[in-house]
């Protein structure tokens, strides 16, 4: 009986310690606003479909590129998805594409414009059914042909965003390898599923492991972490996760790849189970990035990527300038 009581007290103590540790990690402040050296003014932003869909006045495009250049953005990903089930691009305007690129070359000559292509995978439904069947070789070939056509228009590369992709998916790797040939000496960039220590069997597309990141980076030039829609409930815990993601991927890829890493920063205001208002904020994400890089930044890190330009309001830009670029005024 005495042995049982001792075991029970030990078990209770262990439960209390674990609970206290969990509460500390969830609610204790994390990160700081001290100056840091990590911004290289090589940041990115996702843009709306409208920029490639219909004509825009030259003044409007010039204003966009001057604004982005002013904020240290060097990669622009204008929306051009989803591919349909035949592997064809959605409605767009080739003349507007050319005007958009010409304006970028004139106003911000160092900016790289990479059309954002891809879509939802077949079998997965958010607001509408998916159209991308990664196992369909014919569709993959048509997707590659469309991307080759975009490169012929003069774009600097392609930014691929197919969701969801399960950890270890070989068909996605096959698509990337085919796109590598189509992009040639341009930039092959991709939106990467949030990193994690393991991929749960019940949700293999929730995390990508370090091993799959390494396989992805064998082909890609640029890997942009989607460190949002995590369902994390508290700001402190979210900052810790972003710090982990930034540190893990940059360090791991530094040992095995030349691919550059950008960390996605959420600026959208939706609130639900996966994205919690007041938790996945630009400030919390940026503080997490800085915390993850302090003292252990891998040489693969390049910048942050704002998701997205159309949801980033003046207050968000001010936070980005203050926390990330060290400027007190936007």
Task: Give the Å distances, CA to CA, from 94 to 53, 54, 77, 187, 221.
Answer: 8, 9, 16, 20, 26
Q: Please give the full DSSP string across 222-268, using - where no structure is assigned.
A: EEEE--------SHHHHHHHHHHHHHHHHHHHHHH---EEEEEEE--
Question: Which pTM does this prediction carry?
Answer: 0.93
Q: Kindly report, residue by residue over 102-111, the tens digit of the pLDDT.
A: 999 999 999 9
What pLDDT is attached to residue 27?
Answer: 53
Q: What is the mean pLDDT of each run of 10 residues along the chain (330 residues)?
A: 61 48 56 93 98 97 98 98 95 96 98 97 80 96 98 98 97 98 97 95 92 96 97 96 95 87 96 90 98 82 97 98 88
Kindly report the number of other CB atoms within 10 A of residue 102's CB atom.
13
DSSP H helical ranges for the chain? 2-27, 50-53, 58-70, 94-107, 137-152, 170-183, 210-217, 235-256, 282-293, 314-319
Q: Kindly report, residue by residue over 312-327, the tens digit of the pLDDT.
A: 999 999 999 999 999 9
What pLDDT is attached to residue 255?
Answer: 81
Dist. CA 162–CA 81, nearest whole Å = 10
């Amino acid at each position: 009986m005495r042995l049982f009581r001792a075991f029970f007290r030990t078990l209770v103590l262990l439960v209390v310690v674990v609970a206290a540790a969990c509460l500390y990690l969830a609610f204790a402040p994390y990160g700081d606003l001290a100056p840091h050296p990590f911004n290289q003014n090589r940041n990115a932003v996702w843009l709306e479909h409208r920029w490639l869909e219909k004509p825009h006045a030259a003044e409007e495009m010039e204003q966009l590129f001057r604004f982005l250049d002013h904020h240290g953005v060097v990669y622009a990903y204008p929306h051009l998805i989803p591919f349909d089930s035949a592997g064809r691009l959605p409605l767009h305007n080739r003349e507007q594409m050319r005007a958009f690129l010409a304006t970028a070359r004139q106003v911000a000559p160092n900016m790289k414009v990479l059309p954002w292509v891809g879509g939802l995978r077949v079998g997965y439904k958010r607001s509408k059914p998916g159209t991308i069947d990664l196992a369909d070789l014919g569709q993959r070939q048509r997707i590659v042909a469309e991307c080759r056509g975009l490169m012929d228009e003069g774009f600097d590369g392609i930014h691929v965003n197919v969701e969801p992709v399960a950890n270890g998916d070989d068909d996605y790797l096959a698509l990337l390898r085919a796109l590598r040939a189509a992009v040639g000496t341009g930039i092959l960039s991709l939106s990467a599923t949030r990193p994690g220590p393991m991929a749960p069997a019940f949700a293999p597309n929730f995390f990508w492991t370090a091993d799959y990141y390494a396989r992805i980076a064998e082909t890609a030039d640029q890997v942009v972490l989607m460190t949002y829609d995590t369902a994390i409930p508290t700001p402190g815990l979210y900052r810790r996760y972003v710090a982990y993601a930034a540190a893990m991927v940059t360090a791991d890829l530094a040992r095995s790849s030349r691919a550059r890493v950008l960390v996605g920063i959420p600026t959208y205001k939706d609130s639900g189970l996966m994205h919690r208002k007041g938790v996945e904020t630009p400030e919390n994400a940026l503080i997490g990035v800085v915390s993850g890089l302090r003292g252990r930044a891998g040489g693969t890190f390049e910048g942050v990527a704002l998701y997205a330009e159309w949801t980033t309001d003046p207050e968000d830009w001010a936070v980005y300038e203050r926390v990330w670029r060290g400027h007190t005024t936007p």
